[in-house]
Amino acid sequence: MAFDPTDPVQILVIDDSMVVRELIAQYLEDGGYLLETAANGEAAWAAICQSPPDLIISDWSMPGLSGIELCRRVKSDPSLQHIYFLMLTAREDTSDRILGLDTGADEFISKPINAEELRARIRAALRVRQLTRSLMAANQRLKDQNNLLASMSLLDEETGVLNQRALTSALPGLLHQVGERPPAAVPVDENYILYYRYLSIWLLAVDHWPELEQQYGSEVLRQVVTVVARRLQSRGLPGSLVYRAAVNQFACVTLGLSPQRAYEFGHTLRQGISDYPVSLSSELSIPVTVSLGGVVVTKEHDLDPEQLLHQVQEVLSKAQTLGTNQLLLLGYEPAAGVAVG
């Protein structure tokens, strides 16, 4: 769908306090925005369905339909999930922020509202909006050209992370980058390859998958793995790539991490899942843990991609035999005092 980047930006402000609504309108009055307000979540939802805005600024806590539940509705609707959702909150607790991110909130602003911070957050949101709309238009053109692109995609449709096909395609090139760096005197040209001493790959699996599926059903678990994927991406290091390797498994590949740093990174990934339950609604919160098996490749390893994937799967299987919420890195023993399970 074609769009004009100069179109006025539509912003919907939602707060049960008239004072807050008027204050935000005052802060934004010189921005050239098309501003609409709503006093509660239900009125806001009706307005969103009738004329979807570009950006939503919503209070977290409101009578009736809360801001967090409104965000869940918006982000679970494929036709609305691209809307940038900015949450107003006085909550500072980390678990609340995790809940907001898991629900799909794009950004937070703390109360009391600072005018300059609000304007800066909106400017950043509009940059994301322009990029998102450009990508949506480009993606639509590609779909129109060839409907088979969906089956050839390198992205997992459920979670949005890279898929198994992407992993098997990328591994040969990543393994080729493992080795000694060339001397500094070697000229850099278009054929230059940046080498790394290490390549780490973690394979993690959601624990108790059959039991979770029996208790909650496949639709709920699809939402769970989407949250797991978001958390893995948010805790990734620069250069880390997250792949969905199987229905309840993800792989995380990173160049340049020594065994110790790779183990610490695996511990961070595991904590990011296990420390906070997956909250899918105000009535449904599911404790989720994962077990991880990892391998760090050096130039001494003579493994092709298929052998490497087989090896890391074996390490994961061994970790799973130790129990749940386990972490095992092949050939590495953590120092005393470092949690291993």
| Residue 117 falls inside a structural domain | yes
| Residue 147 falls inside a structural domain | no
Q: Residue 306 corresponds to which tokens in the numbers above?
A: 């298929």
| Residue 148 falls inside a structural domain | no
185 shares a domain with 302: yes
170 shares a domain with 225: yes
Domain boundaries, position 18: 10-142
The neighbouring-strand residues paired with 37 are 13
| Residue 158 falls inside a structural domain | no
| Residue 97 falls inside a structural domain | yes
Residue 200 has pLDDT above 50, yes or no: yes
Mean pLDDT for the chain? 86
Mean pLDDT of 198-221: 95
Q: 260-276: b or e for each residue (b if 16 or more CB lie within 10 Å)?
A: eebbebbbebbebbeeb
The model's pLDDT over 53-75, given as tens digits with 9 standing for 90+, comes to 999 999 998 999 999 999 999 98
Number of structural domains in the chain: 2
185 shares a domain with 107: no
Distance from C-alpha of 281 to C-alpha of 94, rounded to nearest angstrom: 18
CATH number of the domain bearing residue 104: 3.40.50.2300
- pLDDT value, residue 190: 44
| Residue 121 falls inside a structural domain | yes
Mean pLDDT of 155-168: 90
- pLDDT value, residue 338: 52
- pLDDT value, residue 314: 97
| Residue 128 falls inside a structural domain | yes
181 shares a domain with 90: no
CATH number of the domain bearing residue 298: 3.30.70.270
Mean pLDDT of 191-201: 75
More confident position, 141 or 25: 25
pTM of the model: 0.57
- pLDDT value, residue 144: 63
